[in-house]
Amino acid sequence: MQGLVLYPDGHYRLEEVPEPKIGENPFTPHDVLIEVAFCGICGSDVHKWKDRNRKGLSGPPQPVVSGHEMSGTVIGVGEAVTDFRPGDRVVGEIVTFYCGKCINCRTGRINICARMNPSDQRIHYRAGGAFAPYAVWPERHLHRLPDSVGLREAVLIEPTAGSFHSLIERMELKPGESLLILGPGARGLILLQIGKAVGASPIIVTGLSRDQSTRLKLARELGADRVVNVEKEDLLEVVKDMTSGVGADVVVENTGSPRAVEETLDLARPGGRILISGGGIRGGVTASLDTRKIIVKELDIKGEISHLWTSWKAAIQLVEQGKVRLEPLLSHVFPLQEWEKAFDLAAESPEALRVALTPR
């Protein structure tokens, strides 16, 4: 079969690779063989391809089929598998490797295993991902899709789980709290919908002039109380006007811009909470933070990475209940053989939200 292989130096190549087999992988005998329907192109995939010389963006230790935003159908199961059978439609978690013994793993925070490098925890770095016709996932990190959720939209459940982890499990967003989302990409629009589902108000989403016609327009349609083109409006004044002059209760930095990271300190109210998440996919960014603002405003600043089992359970329920709409966010689908065109679009087009590849 053909698979899109990521090399240690950060370059990709579509090439012939062996088909994965039950009983011949690290997850045996709890392995599940999946016929891949779609696999989304994450920002981390794009940046490894475009910015391969950036610090923190090294590839896997050996060439491996990449891709982790997977949806597909079970076609085979290992001898110890009890929860899945052929015909089940599934999505799979990224974090499938962890020590199970450190304090984080023992308390359920397997996404930040204290004994493993974050990249080494990921299935598409260690065992092989879903930019291919077939993939193998471990049973305990698969989730069955409800009948009402299609495989096409399900490709965005992974970023939905990550957004739930960010907003609810890390930020503990509450009904009635104001929410400022910096960045209107697919993840920003998922964060918006989760905020709406929780009852946050007002919700403000920011973008640039290039985002005006598609992303900010869709943010309004999905329920944002206010969208802001930061190249044309004073964001701080808008936030103050929308929050009785005090600033936002929760600010989510979702852009990867050092300037946006720095501005979060002014945009959050005294006692507010800030999540820094946008720069991780680029290997991190360096920003200057005024510590006086952190101190005198008693700001809480957190990071986030990946998700937990509970994140996935909640994400699937939100999609099933129609509280998070994913169909409008999958803007383009390309055959696997056109991966370069798809990656270019995902990296550069303001009209693209989430771009996916399909081997079918």
Domain assignment of residue 192, yes or no: yes
| Residue 103 and residue 51 share a domain | yes
| Residue 350 and residue 299 share a domain | no
> Strands across the sheet with 2-6, in order?
12-16, 2-6, 64-65
Domain assignment of residue 314, yes or no: no
Q: What is the distance of C-alpha 338 from the center of its chain? A: 23
Read off the tokens for 334. Answer: 């390309």
Of 253, 280, 68, 268, nearest to 177 by C-alpha is 268
pLDDT for 335: 98
pLDDT for 297: 98
Give me the tens of pLDDT residue by residue for the chain, a chain 360 residues long: 999 999 998 899 999 999 999 999 999 999 999 999 999 999 888 876 665 445 555 689 999 999 999 999 999 999 999 999 999 999 999 999 999 999 999 999 999 999 999 999 999 999 999 999 999 999 999 999 999 999 999 999 999 999 999 999 999 999 999 999 999 999 999 999 999 999 999 999 999 999 999 999 999 999 999 999 999 999 999 999 999 999 999 999 999 899 999 999 999 999 999 999 986 655 678 899 999 999 999 999 999 999 999 999 999 999 999 999 999 999 999 999 999 999 999 999 988 999 999 998
- Does residue 172 sit in helix, strand or coil? coil
pLDDT for 216: 97
Residues 6+ apart with CB under 8 A from 158: 40, 42, 68, 69, 70, 91, 93, 94, 307
pLDDT for 190: 98
The whole-angstrom separation of Cα 141 and Cα 91 is 9
Which CATH number does the domain housing residue 143 bear?
3.90.180.10
Residue type, 213: S
pLDDT for 281: 58
Q: What is the pTM of this model?
A: 0.95
| Residue 166 and residue 150 share a domain | no
| Residue 286 and residue 146 share a domain | no
For the chain, the domain total comes to 2
Domain assignment of residue 310, yes or no: no
pLDDT for 43: 86
| Residue 31 and residue 152 share a domain | yes
| Residue 151 and residue 7 share a domain | yes
| Residue 283 and residue 188 share a domain | yes
| Residue 228 and residue 92 share a domain | no
| Residue 195 and residue 209 share a domain | yes
Could you tell me if residue 69 is left (phi over 0), alpha (psi between -120 and 50 degrees) or otherwise beta? beta
- Full domain range(s) for residue 129: 2-156+326-358
The whole-angstrom separation of Cα 178 and Cα 355 is 30
Domain assignment of residue 313, yes or no: no
Q: What are phi and psi of 323, to 5 degrees?
A: -80, -20
| Residue 286 and residue 170 share a domain | yes
Task: Write the burial class of residue 291 (CB in 10 Å: 0-12 exposed, 13-18 middle, 19+ buried).
Answer: exposed
